[in-house]
Amino acid sequence: MKYSGWPEPGELVVGDVDEIADFGVFVDLDEYEEKRGLCHISEVASGWIKNVRDHVREGQTVVAKVLEVDESANQIDLSIKDVNEHQRKDKIQAWKNSQKADNWMLIALGEDVDDDRYTEVANALLVEYDSLYDAFEAAAISGDEALDDVDVDDDAREAIVEAARDNVSVPYVDVTGYVDLESAAPDGVDDVKAALEAAEGDGEVPDGVDLEVGYVGSPEYRIKVRAPDYKTAEDQLEAAAARAREAIEGRGGAGDFHRERREDDE
């Protein structure tokens, strides 16, 4: 999806070098419809430039900073030298993500979707998410729940979730912690078993999170959590450990949570 308006001064844009002149470089902006910018030779690279072609080539994809915009003159002034390597990499990744999301939208809504329908659904997603990519990633992780607050019809909602789960590679993080569970009661084994079952959640673990409880060596048990982000993973790990402690202590036993193993590795 390309924007129909104009970029803002200070914005980073992606474009393709389509013409090189002695005084500078013309760049077709990939994110804006029918917009072309000029990067003066003094803004191509730092220091004295003898030949512009020593720094850029026709067809090259570049990231540039918007210096000034004059809509009445249909002019956009750009700077390539004002973009550092970190900014360039981040912007290129965001641009690639945007292209992926545009493709996912076409998969969800159909290749022949009209512009009004596309814009309607896209704008609804962008009300709740920073980008279409973020919206599809959330839908891949959480399904319908990710679109609860998005003002789209049921057909679009179902299609977006299906396209997301079929096409989006979901990032995950894994965290591990340990609980020591002890009970001196005659039926202490049952007490520990009940605590481990409590740790597993019994429906309390949210969608998109995998939680596994395993034996390490009495009284130590491992809790492994896989979640879409670090905060969620840590929160779910601590919640599982808390459930185990509450369960064992409720039966007169003792529980303790720690992040590193206390016994020798298996």
Per-residue pLDDT tens over the stretch 234-258:
999 999 999 999 999 999 999 999 9
**In the chain, pLDDT over 70 holds for what percent of residues?**
98
How far apart are alpha carbons 257 and 225 in whole angstroms? Answer: 15
What sign does the dihedral 29-30-31-35 (CA atoms) show?
A: positive
Residue 247: which residues within 8 A CB-CB, separation 6 or more?
194, 195, 197, 198, 199, 255
- Give 264's pLDDT tier (boundaries 50, 70, 90): low
Q: What ranges in the chain are assigned the alpha helix state H? A: 85-109, 115-128, 132-142, 154-167, 188-199, 230-250
Q: Residue 207's pLDDT is what?
A: 84
Three-state DSSP class for residue 157: helix
What sign does the dihedral 159-164-166-167 (CA atoms) show?
A: positive
Q: Tens of pLDDT along 189-230? A: 999 999 999 999 877 888 889 999 998 888 999 999 998 887
Lowest average pLDDT, out of 73-87, 116-130, 158-172, goes to 158-172
**In the chain, pLDDT over 90 holds for what percent of residues?**
76
Q: What is the DSSP letter of 61?
A: E
- Please state the rounded mean pLDDT for residues 50-65: 95
Q: Is the pLDDT of residue 140 over 90?
A: no
- Please state the rounded mean pLDDT for residues 141-158: 91
pTM over cut 0.75: no
Q: Residue 172's pLDDT is what?
A: 81
- Please state the rounded mean pLDDT for residues 106-112: 95
- Please state the rounded mean pLDDT for residues 1-30: 92
- Please state the rounded mean pLDDT for residues 104-133: 95
- Please state the rounded mean pLDDT for residues 104-124: 95
Q: What are phi and psi of 36, to 5 degrees?
A: -135, 135
8 A C-beta contact, residue 65 and residue 78: yes
- Give 1's pLDDT tier (boundaries 50, 70, 90): low
Which residue reads 């970029």 in tokens? 7
Q: Tens of pLDDT along 16-55? A: 999 999 999 999 999 999 999 999 999 999 999 989 999 9
- Please state the rounded mean pLDDT for residues 165-178: 86
- Please state the rounded mean pLDDT for residues 162-174: 86
- Give 265's pLDDT tier (boundaries 50, 70, 90): very low
